[in-house]
Amino acid sequence: MSTVTVRAPAKVNLQLSVGAPRSDGFHDLATVFQAVSLVDDVTALPGDHLTVSVEGEGADDVPLDETNLALRAARALADCAGIEPRAHLHVHKGIPVAGGMAGGSADAAAALVALDHLWGLGLDRQQLAEIAATIGSDVPFALMGHTAIGLGRGERLSPALARGRFEWVLAFASSGLSTPAVYSELDRLREGGIQVEPRVSESLMAALLAGDAPGLGKAMSNDLQRAAVSLRPQLAMTLEVGDEYGALASLVSGSGPTVAFLAGDEEHALDLAVALTSSGVCRTVRRATGPAPGAKVVEP
């Protein structure tokens, strides 16, 4: 095989409940992920060494060194297979960088699937998911897609039943937020506070099962939101626009600063997108639907 392109989705966290910090520096989570139709494409081509290039949304902010998640995924896969990592990876970004939508994780998941094909390894999804979990907490979900519950640090997944299609409007900020910084800010804000065991909301699961968008909107929550707003107070204005225009939910996505708005239907999503664009509170507005599939080969 000479070239393989794999498409992987962004995610929103319908719920993100964060527990106390663990001894390994991570936090125990109870989260519900939904993959949405905002995607990155990763093309794997034969090469003498391992290299990466990036174009598209926020490309200038993507590191091209050893910290690049697609490169890390490639090395981990080659190590596991006992081969030299020889390939060029070209990433076309549609997902904002450092936006709380797991764009880097999507690239890592796409790279795993693309290189598994290019190198003819034939690993199954479970084997790829195990490698994915060593790259980042959100990488296994980018492989799986659709809607899923994430426990542990987010990597222990079980599929969630969701009926129908949900309409999302996404407001991108002009610069990213560091995920570790947002988790640290939450710990700081919580100092001395009561910490409960994170658990998935039953009303949220019921709304998903029924395809009930208003019910889902009411049940959505994100413990990281107040930390993201504390570090980036302008986000409060973005969230207000959603409330003003009747969004079923207005919530910071993951560690932010992207804000996700749940709309009632396509027309409502269009109205919300127009209102957000003209309000000037964010850099770019995109519409997406969820759930979307996990990382998969794009047929030529």
- Which residues of this chain interact with ligand C5P, rule CB under 6 A? 25-27, 29, 136-138, 153-154, 179-180, 183
Secondary structure in 3-state letters for 190-247? HCCCCCCCCCCCHHHHHHHHHCCHHHHHHHCEECCHHHHHHHCCCHHHHHHHHHHCCC
DSSP helix/strand/coil, 119: coil
Distance between CA atoms of residues 235 and 250, nearest Å: 11
Shortest distance, position 12 Cβ to ligand C5P, whole Å? 15
Q: Nearest to residue 38, comparing CAs of 99, 111, 114? A: 99
Measured from the CB atom, is 140 or 242 closer to ligand C5P?
Answer: 140
Catalytic residue status for 60: no
**Active-site entry in 11, 93, 107, 223:** 11
Q: Which is nearer to ligand C5P, 80 or 151 (CB)?
A: 151
Give yes or no for a contact between 297 and 6, defined as CB atoms under 8 angstroms apart.
yes
Whichever of 106 and 216 has its CB closer to ligand C5P, that residue is: 106
Mention every residue, 6+ apart, whose C-beta is less than 8 A from residue 25: none
Measured CA to CA, the distance from residue 287 to residue 266 in angstroms comes to 9
Q: Smallest distance from the beta carbon of 26 to ligand C5P, in angstroms?
A: 4
Q: What residues form DSSP beta bridges with 92? A: 41, 55
Which one of 41, 116, 138, 223 is the catalytic residue? 138
Q: Which residue, 29 or 78, has its beta carbon nearer to ligand C5P?
A: 29
Closest distance to ligand C5P from the beta carbon of 269 (Å): 28
CB of 113 to ligand C5P, least distance (A): 19
218 is catalytic: no
Residues recognised as catalytic: 11, 138
